Amino acid sequence: MSEPVQTPQTQTAAFPARIFSGIQPSGGLTLGNYLGALKRFVEKQEEGIETIYCLVDMHAITVWQEPEKLRQQTREGAAAFIAAGIDPARSILFNQSQVSAHAELAWIFNCVARMGWMGRMTQWKDKTAGKNAEAASLGLFAYPALMAADILAYKATHVPVGEDQKQHLELTRDIATKFNNDYGVNFFPITEPVIEGAATRVMSLRDGSKKMSKSDPSDQSRINLTDTADAIAAKIRKAKTDPEPLPETLEALKERPEARNLVNIYAGLSGRTAADVLGEFAGAQFGTFKPALAELAVSVLAPITTEMNRLMADPAEIDRILSAGADRAEAIARPIVDEVYEIVGMVRPRR
Ligand code: AQP
C-alpha cells in the first residue's frame, strides 16, 4: 500500500509513558551528545518515567567502523552514560545488536516506509553531499527505519533527542501511522520528540554553521568527553569567534553563529537560559567570556571523564551491565515484535 500518511488514529496518551533514546558508538561522545542527549536522559530518569537507553551499534556500521574500535567505543559510550548519571538499575542500558527485535522490526518497517520518505531525509543528504551516493551503504539510506524500530519495539511514547534528529522522529511517526492504518490497528503510539534545553544543537567550535559531531575530521571542532582539562581549555580558547563584545539581547546574536554557540553551551552547562547568560556577560569580550566558559566546562566534564576512566578499567563489568540491560530490553520488545508478526500475517507456530 502506498497511500499518503493519514491523521494518526492513536494518541500517545493512550500508551503508558516510556522513554527510549540512543547514541551511536561511531566515535567518542562529544559535548553535543552530552548537552543534546545524555544530560537530558539523566533528567528523564530522575523524573521517574521508565527509561530505556541504547548504544546503537547497528546504526554505527551504516558507515565503516573498525571492529575493535567499535567494540571499544561501545564500552566507552556505556561508561559515559553511567558516568553522566544513568543508573543501570533504574534505566535499561544496553547495546542494540544484543536485542534482535530491533533488526526484525526494522525489516517490517523497511516494507512500510517509502523510498521517497527516506530520500528526503536531510541527514542522508548531508552524509552523501559531495560524495557518490551510489556508493553509500543501503543501511545508511534505511537508517530512519531502524531508528523507528528502536523506538517502537518498546512502544516508546517519548524520545529525548537533539534538534538534528527531529526529522527522523517525524518519520517514525509516519511509519507508526501508516502501519496502524494499513493493518487497521491501534498498535503503535505516535511518539513525541522531546527537544528541550538551551543547547539542543551544539555547533562546531571551528564553524558555527556546522553541527558539533563525533565524526568531524577536525578534533578541534569538538569537545570530547574524554578530553583533559587542558585540552578543553585550549579548544575553547581557540574556538572561532568575532571581534565584538557579547551583546545584551539574543536578537543581536542572530547573525553571530559562533558567539551564539558559545553562549548556548554556557547556558546548557550551567542549566540557565541563554538570555540569563547574556544578562551576566553583556559587554564582555571573548578574552573574559572564554576563560569563564572553559572553567565551567571543566567543572562539569572533569568528574564525568574521571568516572569514565574508572569504569573503562573494568570492561568485563561494562559488558555485564550491557548484557543484563539487554535481557530486560528483550523481555519488553519480544512480545511486541511477536505481535507485529501476527498482525502482518506471518505463520507463527507456538514454540
Ligand atoms: N551537536 C549536537 N548538539 C546537540 N545534540 C546532538 N546530538 C548529536 N550531536 C549533537 C544528539 O545526540 C544524540 C545521539 O546522536 P547520534 O550519535 O546517534 O548521532 P548524530 O546525531 O549523528 O551525532 P554525531 O555526533 O553527529 O554522530 P556522527 O558523527 O557519527 O554522525 C541524538 O539525540 C542527537 O540529536
Q: pLDDT for 152-180, tens place per residue?
A: 999 999 999 999 999 999 999 999 999 99
Is-catalytic flag, 240? no
pTM assigned to the model: 0.94
State in Å: Cα 238 to ligand 1 middle. 23
Atom of ligand 1 nearest to the CA of 165: 35
Q: Which position has the grid cell 587542558?
A: 230
Judge whether residue 113 has pLDDT over 60.
yes
Query: Would you place residue 11 in the very low, low, confident or very high pLDDT band (cuts 50, 70, 90)?
Result: low
Residue ranges around ligand 1 (CB below 6 Å)? 23-24, 26-27, 30, 32-33, 35-37, 161-162, 164-165, 200-202, 211-215
CA 193, chain centre distance (Å): 11
The whole-number pLDDT of residue 351 equals: 64
Across residues 231-260, what is the average pLDDT?
A: 96
How many other C-beta atoms can be found within 10 angstroms of the C-beta atom of residue 333? Answer: 24
- CA distances, 200 to each of 162, 166, 167, 315 (Å): 5, 11, 14, 31
Q: Does residue 8 carry a pLDDT above 70?
A: no
The arrangement of strands across the sheet holding 50-55 comes to 92-95, 50-55, 18-23, 158-160, 192-194
- Dist CA 78 CA 327 (whole Å): 16
Q: Match 526529522 to its residue by C-alpha cell.
A: 167
- d(CA 111, CA 129) in angstroms, rounded, equals 26
Domains along the sequence of the chain with CATH: 8-200+314-344 (3.40.50.620), 219-311 (1.10.240.10)
Closest CA to 55 of 27, 36, 32: 27
Q: Mean of the pLDDT values across residues 288-316?
A: 98
Ligand 1 center from residue 210 Cα (angstroms): 12
Distance CA 150, CA 287 (A): 45
Residue 85 DSSP code: T
Residue 36 DSSP code: I
Grid cell at residue 318: 561494562
Query: Rounded mean pLDDT of 137-166?
Result: 97
